[in-house]
Amino acid sequence: MKKINHFLFFLFLSFSVSAQKKPKVKPFLPISVESGKLVYRADTVTGDRIPDYSYAGYMSSNEAIPFVDVKATVPIVKGDATSYIQAAIDYVSQLPLNKNGFRGAILLQKGQYEILGQIKIKTSGIVLRGSGINNGTILFGKGVSRDAIIRVVGIDDRSNSVQTKIQQDYVPVNANSFTVQEASKFKVGDKVNILRPSTKEWIDVLGTETFGGGISSLGWKPGDADLNFERKIVGINGNQIVLDVPIPNSFDKKYGGGIVTSFEW
């Protein structure tokens, strides 16, 4: 009888212990691969997601990089090659744009080009192409200037149009839609700039108003670290606008929120 009682007690104890065990909680995976695709999951508290950089690249990585025909070739020259490369760029800059928006490519051959000045590309549709990676084309900056070897410049003729503020209290990281105060000001296809201002409140939270040493003039001031994101509107639902590419930053109303401005070049 004692053996039976001991057995029943052991069985009851085992059942009680096993019943009290909590089921294993599956860990939260912010990113995973499902059916060969990356899946980004939102944080359960803020809604933030890991930024999706798959849109980076030519045409948001939705189209293959086209091969642009060579319109000028610059041979290896002895001494400073700046003027030779610049002359080729200036020549191709005068050619008409093709249906893909390109004028042509300038081909640099294998070897080393000495650059004592600065190469400037001032017109769109220009491709400056080297020959190979290993033992290919080398642009070797010489002289005492610290300027960049290649500079891409244009005409700052952007004109801003309508503007509105972001209405949401918090727009999470990697969001591609949010509500604004007046979405009726915009239309699908508009190019917009989304400004995240660097306000005093935000700077104070980061602690970058001073970098130590008692020299506060080296710290950030409001407006020193504004963030700007250029996007295109692909959808409007009431006061919600939908963007073509997610934004890799959050917008918090208590730190200045955000401002949406349409523009044209």
pLDDT digits (tens, 9 = 90+) for 231-242: 999 999 999 999
Looking at residues 239-250, what average pLDDT do you find? 96
E strand residue ranges, 54-125 = 70-74, 104-108, 111-115, 119-121
Tokens of 67: 């091969």
pLDDT of residue 144: 85
CA dist 253 and 167 (Å) reads 8
Is it true that domain 159-264 has CATH number 1.10.3470?
A: no
Q: The whole model's pTM is what?
A: 0.75
Sequence spans of domains, the chain: 70-152, 159-264
pLDDT tens digit sequence for 93-110: 999 999 989 999 999 999
Report angle CA 237, 242, 247 to the nearest 5 degrees: 150
Looking at residue 218, its pLDDT comes to 77
Cβ distance 121 to 153 under 8 Å?
yes
Q: Which amino acid is at 113?
A: Y
Q: State the Cα–Cα distance between residues 218 and 257, nearest whole angstrom.
A: 25
